[in-house]
Amino acid sequence: MTLRPRLHHVYFALAAFDLLTVSLGLYLINRLADIYEDSVAVNQVWATRLNEYSVLSGLAAAVNAPGNDVFQSGDIRGESARLAGALARFDERAAIVRRDLVRNVGASESPELLAAFDAIPPAMREMAVQAQSIFSYLQRREPEQAARRMARMDREFASVNAALARLSGRVRAIQTLHFQQQIAHAAGVRRFELVIASLVVLMVAGVTFYGSMLATRMRQNRAELARHRDHLEELVAERTAELRASHQQLRLAERLASVGTLAAGLGHDMNNLLFPVLCRLDALDAAGLDDQAAEEVAQVRQSIEYLQQLSDGLRLMVLDPDDPDASRHTTDLRSWADEVAPLLRAALPQESTLDYDIPDDVPPIAVAPHRLTQAVYNLVVNASEAISKGGTITVRAEVQGEGRLVRVSVTDNGKGMPAEVAGRALEPFFTTKKRHLSTGLGLALVHGVATSAGGSVEIESSPGAGTTVTLNLLTRRGACP
């Protein structure tokens, strides 16, 4: 896609090519016009010279006429005057014609024309001499001698006409040669017309290609716009669905907050109610009951203590995990396990077992009890949903790193998770359950508890082999700088 030229570059190239073609076409038209004008001007000049030669021929005839006309008119003086006038006009016009040949004709053409022209004056002078002889013989009344002179005069006149004819012929030859040169020049220019025509064809082909490419690009742009529009609509639909899910999660969070508030109130009220009962049980023990009554009181006391542990667990569950002053900053795992055991067992389905594997010498960990309770409770709830009837969940603690790290793990023998699910389990809002059954925030909360305490979370699971979620937590010694 990036290798293809941009359309505006193609447009500029075609515009430049079009300008070049038009400029060349105008140049050729101007050149042909110049050739035509030059040809017309040159032909007009040579036509003018031919006309001058025709005039000279007429003037030569005027010089020849008195010598012939005198035989009929007998006016020797008048005809002699006519001869002198005609000869003067001929000489004057001949001088003008010769100056034109010398000054205005090229060096390649003037020698031959001057040679032909210079043969005319001697013949004219001889013709004038013979005419004067005719007049002289007629004055002496020798008509035969005059007739012979007239014949010689006519021969000289014929020589003058022959010279003028040669001169005119040479001029026509020059005209023809010049015309042929102009035709050849125009033919050379016309060859460029073929080049221009080829360029025009190429330009039309380029414009056609550019139009085709532009139409293709427009179709591609329309298709791309349609794809973007569809993608935008998909994004809007996805965002709308996410917004609705967020609203549902907010509503669920509000409900959970209400449940937490209720649980805190219940825990507080249960302790308030159970404490007077324990006091009265102590009074009954002090009264010295018989063995059967004492056993009954002991059973009641055991139930009351269980309810107190349950209320303490509820109190730990609803404490704010982000409130560092809500409870102690460290937790003794043995005492914590005894305190939250009723709460954790209450989360298990019937006929399921909750085991503990917590050594007596495990050091305190640098996590508040309520935050640890929230994390482990979420893990136990998740594990209880994974195990079948009669399954087992084990809460285990293991000291590592020379007493600086404690690994607290929750293990179940349930159905396990595939690798792709385990890899995303810690993501917020990720869940494999229906949205109305889970928020997808349980493991995210566990991860938040561990990382906020400087620890981490590990998940080991495979289909059919159960799941172990481990919290790597620093001890009080490991958390000290």
Does residue 265 sit within a domain? Answer: no
Looking up tokens 């500029």, which residue turns up? 12
Looking up tokens 């006391």, which residue turns up? 301
Does residue 285 sit within a domain? Answer: no
pLDDT at 2 over 80: no
| Residue-number span of the structural domain to which 363 is assigned | 321-479
**CATH code, domain with 65:** 1.20.1420.10
- pLDDT mean over 462-466: 82
SS3 of 309-330: the string is HHHHHHHHHHCCCCCCCCCCCC
Per-residue pLDDT, 257 = 55
Q: What is the mean pLDDT of the chain?
A: 78
**412: helix, coil or strand?**
strand
Note the pLDDT tens digit of each residue in 184-205. 877 777 777 777 777 777 777 7
Does residue 167 sit within a domain? Answer: yes
Does residue 436 sit within a domain? Answer: yes
Per-residue pLDDT, 1 = 42
Q: Residues 62, 203: one domain?
A: yes
Per-residue pLDDT, 248 = 72
**CATH code, domain with 466:** 3.30.565.10
Per-residue pLDDT, 436 = 41
Rounded to whole angstroms, how far apart are CA atoms 53 and 174?
15
| Boundary-marking domain end, from 216, 232, 248 | 216
Does residue 313 sit within a domain? Answer: no
- pLDDT mean over 334-359: 83
Q: Residues 207, 329: one domain?
A: no
Single pTM value for the model: 0.38
Note the pLDDT tens digit of each residue in 259-269. 556 665 666 56
Note the pLDDT tens digit of each residue in 296-346. 888 887 777 667 656 655 555 555 555 544 445 788 888 888 888 888 887
- Stronger pLDDT, 332 or 36, i.e. the higher one: 332
pLDDT at 68 over 70: yes
> Which region, left, alpha or beta, applies to residue 419 given φ > 0 means left and ψ of -120 to 50 means alpha?
alpha
pLDDT at 226 over 70: yes
Per-residue pLDDT, 318 = 53
Buried b or exposed e, range 102-128, using 16+ CB within 10 angstroms: eeebeeebbeebeebbebbbebbebbb
Q: Residues 200, 333: one domain?
A: no
Per-residue pLDDT, 312 = 56
Strand pairing report for 392-400 and 353-357? parallel
pLDDT at 379 over 80: yes
How many structural domains does the chain have?
Answer: 2
- Stronger pLDDT, 39 or 116, i.e. the higher one: 116
Residues 6 or more apart in contact with residue 470 via CB below 8 angstroms: 407, 408, 409, 457, 458, 459, 460
C-alpha dist (Å) from residue 71 to 61, 80, 261: 16, 12, 162
Per-residue pLDDT, 309 = 59
Per-residue pLDDT, 256 = 54
Structure tokens at 109: 């053409």
Per-residue pLDDT, 311 = 63
| Boundary-marking domain end, from 187, 216, 245 | 216
| Boundary-marking domain end, from 216, 235, 253 | 216
Q: Residues 30, 176: one domain?
A: yes
Residues 6 or more apart in contact with residue 93 via CB below 8 angstroms: 52, 55, 56, 59
Does residue 410 sit within a domain? Answer: yes
Note the pLDDT tens digit of each residue in 141-169. 888 888 888 888 888 888 888 888 888 88
Does residue 250 sit within a domain? Answer: no
Does residue 230 sit within a domain? Answer: no
Q: Residues 187, 332: one domain?
A: no
pLDDT at 404 over 50: yes
Per-residue pLDDT, 325 = 45
Q: Residues 71, 202: one domain?
A: yes
Helices 110-118 and 143-286, axial angle in degrees (round to 10): 160
The proportion of the chain whose per-residue pLDDT surpasses 90, expressed as a percent, equals 2
Note the pLDDT tens digit of each residue in 420-442. 877 777 776 666 665 444 545 56
